[in-house]
A and B are shown apart, each in its own frame.
Chain A
Amino acid sequence: MLSPQITEKIDYELTKYPADQRQAAVMSALRIVQTERGWLSQESMSEVAAYIGMPEIAVMEVASFYNMYDLAPVGKYKISICTNISCMLRNSDEIVDHLKHKLGVEFNQVSADGKFCLKEGECMGACGGAPLMIINNHTMHEFLTPAKVDAILDELK
């Protein structure tokens, strides 16, 4: 069951579209549910489908098309780091190695304590701040150095 907090937020998104175009809100709905629950399970997708009133498979098409939706658990903190050209030119590889070493994970793995998951991202539209990473989709950290990464991770409990 979608919590009232979730449905309230989805309802707000629905106001942006004509009444007969509820499907348009599915991107937001999935984002809202994922933010609340950490990732999108099959039940979550089915609930979104039922709430919006669209076929489940159509919800899954959307959820699986966009990188930022997670269809498997990602730990408490998902760290998405960009390795694309502008970041690569500014040594994102070094940051990646540092993170892998520090968290003891490879890409797409969750750390042993279940807290962190490292993901390789594509361009995040902020290359001026390279190298950079995003935590749980919504908090971006730019101009990373290994020391800065350490400080950020220390903040996360």
Chain B
Amino acid sequence: MAKQSAKSPAPMMTDPKGQTLVCLRTLSESEPATLATYLKLGGYQSLKRLVTEKTKATDIITEVKISGLRGRGGAGFPTGLKWSFMPRYFDGVKYLVCNTDEGEPGTFKDRDIIRYNPHQLIEGMAIAAYTLGARVGYNYIHGEIWQDYETFEAALKEAKEAGYLGENLFGTNFSFDLYAVHGYGAYICGEETALIESIEGKKGQPRFKPPFPASYGVFGKPTNVNNTESYASIPWIMQYGGQAFADLGVANSGGTKLFSVSGHVEKPGNYEVKMGTPFAELLAMAGGVWQGRKLKAVIPGGPSTAVIPASVMESTTMDYDGLSKARSSLGAGSMIVMDDSTCMVKALHRLSYFFYEESCGQCTPCREGTGWVYRVLDRIVKGQGKMEDLDLLTDISKNISGRTICALGEAAATPVISFIKHFRAEFEYYIEHGKSMVDSKAEQG
């Protein structure tokens, strides 16, 4: 960064639970969501400094690149690199979009950002807008978390009244309007181009890419889309420097990550920890497997990432490379924990229903394939499975994967392929006996 002096040394941020709070740093305060709290922590100072000092966009982007921040929406694309794709010169309005549509089962981290630390997101977006020359921004919020949508709208109002949003901020010619908009129950709108269509008042059907949003986004204008957590990391990076952020994590995975832990743990919820934290540590934070049961499997990043059996999971670290070594991925950090009472056939049955219901219906393989997979699994669960169904399921899933406009195809295929791969015996048992292996075991005591 041009003015190193402006940066403060990074504070110690470990909270009593063992979390390292960046995106949720107001959580340690009594009224986390208020502007006052955020200001107390140095909020909006980075924005003000960058804007009033007329910091060059390229310097900001370089800092983001140094931070090692990778997109927190699931794909892990380096944020600094993405920002550099935005056209610098454009005759007209450029847009900024924040993706708070998390609807992938097990994902609920962005909700906590907008309800506990909305101003950090607003500041992050304003910094991005300044950097990318965007005049208008939209935060697209999952429809079901309506109360949090209202919290965020209130925060926007506060920020606008305090002069952090609107026209000619800090007396400069930088202006940025930010609005909250909402989904209304469609998982696919988490996909960035579906989300853009939805902002435009259409069905959320993904667009074919290219052109990418950076050249053809909202209303056909250049648009940058990032996840909530990605934007919310920006103010901290600007405040304490990219290197400090990178140092929080490990190689290839800078910073902290919010993990949504759900399922069979004692204390489900969000945990913000350093990248590279061992799985065991994270599990312990969440109170361990509930009711003293044994861990069976973990879906580490949401159902679109492959399931990992307990044996492998126990020695894995929570970062991009660690999970890819375990043949899965970090995804959005949505960790679904399953104990040994879980029937993997029924779990997959439920997940396949989700993808079947949520496919937008545009592409043939996804529309037809997800329904086919679900119907076969449904038959198996009803005791009418055939052994050849297992290969058929894998084959259908492979035929969906990679042949659709958006990644929902892969997302739908991954659980099927990985569940059957790792727990084939359980599926075979179900087909052979017409009932679940786990239930049978339970009956036998």
Q: Does A83 contact B (CB under 8 A)?
A: yes
Residues of A within 8 A of B105 (CB): 84-86, 122-123, 127
Contact B338 A89 (CB under 8 A): yes
Residues of B within 8 A of A123 (CB): 103-107, 187, 354
Contact A126 B108 (CB under 8 A): yes
Q: Does B15 contact A (CB under 8 A)?
A: no
When chains A and B are docked, how far (Å) is the Cα of A62 from the Cα of B60?
39
Contact B354 A84 (CB under 8 A): yes
B-contact 0/1 string along A59-94, CB 8 Å cutoff? 001100111110000000000100111101110000
Q: Does A54 contact B (CB under 8 A)?
A: yes
B-contact 0/1 string along A16-37, CB 8 Å cutoff? 1010011111111011000000
The listed residue (A31, A66, A130, A140) touching B186 by CB distance below 8 A is A66
Contact A85 B111 (CB under 8 A): no
The verdict on A127 contacting B358 (CB below 8 Å), with A85-B303, A85-B351, A139-B147 known, is: no
**What is the distance, in angstroms, from B105's C-beta to the closest C-beta of chain A?**
4
Contact A122 B103 (CB under 8 A): yes
Residues of A within 8 A of B111 (CB): 125-126
Q: Does B373 contact A (CB under 8 A)?
A: no
Q: Does B219 contact A (CB under 8 A)?
A: yes
The verdict on A84 contacting B350 (CB below 8 Å), with A27-B201, A67-B184, A89-B262 known, is: yes
Residues of B within 8 A of A134 (CB): 144, 146
Q: Does B118 contact A (CB under 8 A)?
A: no
Contact A62 B201 (CB under 8 A): yes
The listed residue (A22, A58, A80, A127) touching B260 by CB distance below 8 A is A127
Contact A89 B181 (CB under 8 A): no
Residues of A within 8 A of B110 (CB): 125
When chains A and B are docked, how far (Å) is the Cα of A31 from the Cα of B201?
12
The listed residue (B146, B198, B354) touching A27 by CB distance below 8 A is B198
Contact A125 B184 (CB under 8 A): no
Residues of B within 8 A of A88 (CB): 347, 350
Q: Does A5 contact B (CB under 8 A)?
A: no
Residues of B within 8 A of A27 (CB): 181-184, 198, 201
When chains A and B are docked, how far (Å) is the Cα of A137 from the Cα of B185?
10
The verdict on A122 contacting B102 (CB below 8 Å), with A66-B143, A86-B336, A138-B146 known, is: no
Residues of A within 8 A of B185 (CB): 66-69, 121-122
Q: Which of B43-51, B232-240, B264-272 lies at the interface with chain A?
A: B264-272
Q: Does B375 contact A (CB under 8 A)?
A: no
Size bracket of the A interface = 35 or more
The verdict on A127 contacting B107 (CB below 8 Å), with A27-B182, A61-B203 known, is: yes
Q: Does A128 contact B (CB under 8 A)?
A: yes
Contact A125 B144 (CB under 8 A): yes
Q: Does A124 contact B (CB under 8 A)?
A: yes
Contact A128 B303 (CB under 8 A): no
The listed residue (A28, A58, A69) touching B202 by CB distance below 8 A is A58
**What is the distance, in angstroms, from A94's C-beta to the closest C-beta of chain B?**
14
Q: Does B313 contact A (CB under 8 A)?
A: no
A-contact 0/1 string along B104-139, CB 8 Å cutoff? 111110110000000000000000000000000010
In the complex, what residue of chain B is closest to A140 when comparing beta carbons?
B147
When chains A and B are docked, how far (Å) is the Cα of A26 from the Cα of B143?
14
Residues of B within 8 A of A31 (CB): 143, 182, 184
When chains A and B are docked, how far (Å) is the Cα of A90 from the Cα of B291?
12
In the complex, what residue of chain A is closest to B104 when comparing beta carbons?
A123
Q: Does B340 contact A (CB under 8 A)?
A: no
Contact A86 B262 (CB under 8 A): yes
When chains A and B are docked, how far (Å) is the Cα of A139 from the Cα of B145?
8
The listed residue (A22, A28, A69, A138) touching B181 by CB distance below 8 A is A28
**What is the distance, in angstroms, from B201's C-beta to the closest C-beta of chain A?**
4
18 contacts between A and B (CB under 8 A): A16-B181, A21-B201, A22-B201, A28-B181, A62-B201, A62-B202, A65-B186, A66-B183, A67-B186, A85-B347, A86-B106, A122-B103, A123-B106, A125-B142, A127-B108, A138-B147, A140-B146, A140-B147
Q: A27-B181, A86-B106 are in contact. List 9 more A-B contacts (CB 8 A).
A: A18-B219, A23-B201, A31-B182, A69-B184, A89-B337, A124-B144, A126-B111, A128-B261, A134-B144
For the complex of A and B, list the 5 residue pairs with the smallest distance between their C-beta atoms, beginning with the closest.
A67-B185, A68-B185, A124-B144, A23-B201, A86-B262
Chain B positions within 8 Å of A, measured between CB atoms, are 93, 101-108, 110-111, 138, 142-147, 179, 181-187, 198-204, 219, 260-264, 268-270, 299, 303, 334, 336-338, 342, 347, 350-351, 354, 357-358, 360
